[in-house]
Amino acid sequence: MSLRVYNTMSGKKEEFKPLVPGKVGMYVCGVTVYDYCHIGHARANIVFDIIFRYLQFSGYETTYVRNYTDVDDKIINRANERKISSQDLAEEFIQAFDEDMEALGLIKPTHQPRATEYIQQIIDINQKLIDKGMAYASGGDVYYSVDKFSDYLKLSKRNMDEMVSGARVAPGEQKHNPMDFALWKAAKEGEPSWESPWGAGRPGWHIECSAMSSSLLGDSFDIHGGGRDLIFPHHENEIAQSEGASGKPFVKYWMHNGFVNVDKEKMSKSLGNFFTIRDILKNYDAEVVRFFILSAHYRSPIDFSDHNLSEAQSGLRRFYEALEASTNAIEGLDSTGHSSQEGEKLEEKFREAMDDDFNTALAIAHLFDGVRNMNRLIATKKFKKKLDLVAQVQDLHATILRLGSVLGLYRSQPTEWLDKVKLKGLKKLDITQEEIEALIDQRLQARAEKNFSRGDEIRVELEGKGILLLDTREGTTWRLK
């Protein structure tokens, strides 16, 4: 079974065959750096993070480019509001972005170019398009003539006539056709600008991605990704620019992730229903956020809510509890002399799921099966003496960790993770760790005196406050209800 990916261009799943066998070039539209990232950005970046990881896991030598758009109207406006320079604003939010991605446990792309580092390439594309008659300079601006590109709207599958009727020309724009879009904008007073054959100016939106992708991946490459909302106009315009300039096919597979919704509605700034990554991480562990996002298929919409995050946390906790139990169960038992096929079987299912357009939800379901399997083995009587079973648990344990890392999961020490999440949850309750431990001591005392009714009282009291006591051979511990 080989990798199949859903291509927005064809609207179907296609067998994945890179341009150069064994190698993949992937470009993902990053952020415009003028504000903090929200959970929608988190989803897009996590989705392509695991696509990157899985391509590498599958043996592809992958070059992953994710840009920063650091020159743009929104940046200029925001910088003016704050009375700082665009560069300082961009710098501030590039740093914030990097911190957020690091916190979410993303691995770094191969290249993270900035639009302002590619001004010359942007100018070159403009010139090439003008030379070919596909773009025109007009009053210091440069516009793309969409009617010169017959494939325009092939990605978003829209109808030009109807688009035109709804298109508007902003005041000051000098377009021949309302659907034309700016490749280069003449600088206004106080805006960042660069010298060009058309006077001082700055790039339009879209063109920077054409410049950075061709510079780092070539005129044609394998995968181009981003959120669904980028299909039109951003990606459509990129195609027009890049194919118009190079005369070659731009991208082989277009991949778009679904939205994050809040109460079934798209999250957006205008609705005011967005959550920043930073705020979410105050209440939930980063891995919980990742687990939540990967528990649905990347193209489906997901509903962000406290309830859903909590469920994700419960699910992840199951993994960590199993990992903790298996770590303890196989501790000190090295080579058993027995072989096991359990890991191999699990990996096969995992690959099958991931090969089917990165079906992380199914892949995780298989890992859950692995967990149950492992727990069942450990619960066997005289487990440690049955070396064939020990071998299977060792195999499953290692495989779950290895496959989990392809999803960026289970990277923490189980006990540490469980404690961390527990203490984070405790903050919401009306009791402290010290109080719990004091009560545990009292209960221990009572039980030592065979005063079970007092012991049960304490259990019930703590349960009322959201704390469950666990009696084990090593003593009594607690967890959140």
345 binds RNA (CB under 7 A): no
Q: Name every residue whose Cβ is closer than 8 Å to that of residue 407 and which is 6 or more positions away in sequence.
A: 50, 53, 290, 294, 360, 363, 364
SS3 351: helix
37 is in an annotated binding site: no
How many of the other CB atoms lie within 10 Å of CB of 62? 23
Question: What does the buried/exposed string (b/e) look like for 63-76 if buried means 16 or more CB atoms within 10 Å of the residue's CB?
Answer: bbbbbbbbbbeebb
Nearest-10 Cα torsion for 169, 170, 175, 179? -40
Contact by Cβ (8 Å): 438, 478: no
# chain residues binding RNA, by CB under 7 A: 84
Q: Can you count the helices (H) and strands (E) in the chain?
A: 16, 15
209 is in an annotated binding site: yes
Give the shortest CB-21-to-RNA separation in angstroms.
27
Phi, psi of 302 (to 5 degrees): -125, 145
| Alpha carbon distance 139, 174 (integer Å) | 7
Stretch that binds RNA, among 216-224, 246-254, 296-304, 400-408 (CB under 7 A): 296-304
318 binds RNA (CB under 7 A): yes
| Alpha carbon distance 205, 237 (integer Å) | 9
422 binds RNA (CB under 7 A): no
* Interface residue with RNA, options 187, 276, 356, 442 (CB under 7 A): 356
Contact by Cβ (8 Å): 386, 380: yes
Contact by Cβ (8 Å): 20, 64: no
418 binds RNA (CB under 7 A): no
For β-strands 23-32 and 251-257, DSSP reports them as unpaired
Q: What residue has token string 């304490």?
A: 458
* Interface residue with RNA, options 185, 224, 252, 459 (CB under 7 A): 459
17 is in an annotated binding site: no
321 binds RNA (CB under 7 A): yes
Eight-class DSSP state of 428? T
205 binds RNA (CB under 7 A): yes
Give the shortest CB-459-to-RNA separation in angstroms.
5
352 binds RNA (CB under 7 A): no
Stretch that binds RNA, among 80-88, 212-220, 309-317, 393-401 (CB under 7 A): 309-317
Choice between 2 and 335, CB closer to RNA: 2
Q: What residue has token string 């970046």?
A: 45
65 CB-side CA count, 13 A: 24
Which token pair is 304? Answer: 């962000």
Which token pair is 15? Answer: 């067998």
| Alpha carbon distance 130, 133 (integer Å) | 5
* Interface residue with RNA, options 14, 23, 56, 74 (CB under 7 A): 74
390 binds RNA (CB under 7 A): no
Enumerate residues 29-58 that contact RNA by CB under 7 A: 29, 31-32, 40-41, 43-44
* Interface residue with RNA, options 82, 372, 411, 465 (CB under 7 A): 372
Enumerate residues 231-250 that contact RNA by CB under 7 A: 231-234
158 binds RNA (CB under 7 A): yes
| Alpha carbon distance 9, 344 (integer Å) | 35
194 binds RNA (CB under 7 A): no
Stretch that binds RNA, among 227-235, 340-348, 381-389, 409-417 (CB under 7 A): 227-235
Enumerate residues 88-117 that contact RNA by CB under 7 A: none
SS3 32: strand
* Interface residue with RNA, options 300, 328, 339, 433 (CB under 7 A): 300
Choice between 80 and 127, CB closer to RNA: 80
150 binds RNA (CB under 7 A): no
Stretch that binds RNA, among 120-128, 281-289, 310-318, 411-419 (CB under 7 A): 310-318
Eight-class DSSP state of 99? H
472 binds RNA (CB under 7 A): yes
Stretch that binds RNA, among 190-198, 277-285, 376-384, 414-422 (CB under 7 A): 376-384
Q: What is the chain's alpha carbon radius of gyration, rounded to the nearest angstrom?
A: 27
456 binds RNA (CB under 7 A): yes
* Interface residue with RNA, options 193, 268, 413, 442 (CB under 7 A): 268
Stretch that binds RNA, among 107-115, 151-159, 187-195, 335-343 (CB under 7 A): 151-159
Residues forming the annotated binding site for ATP?
A: 269
Residues forming the annotated binding site?
A: 29, 209, 234, 238, 269
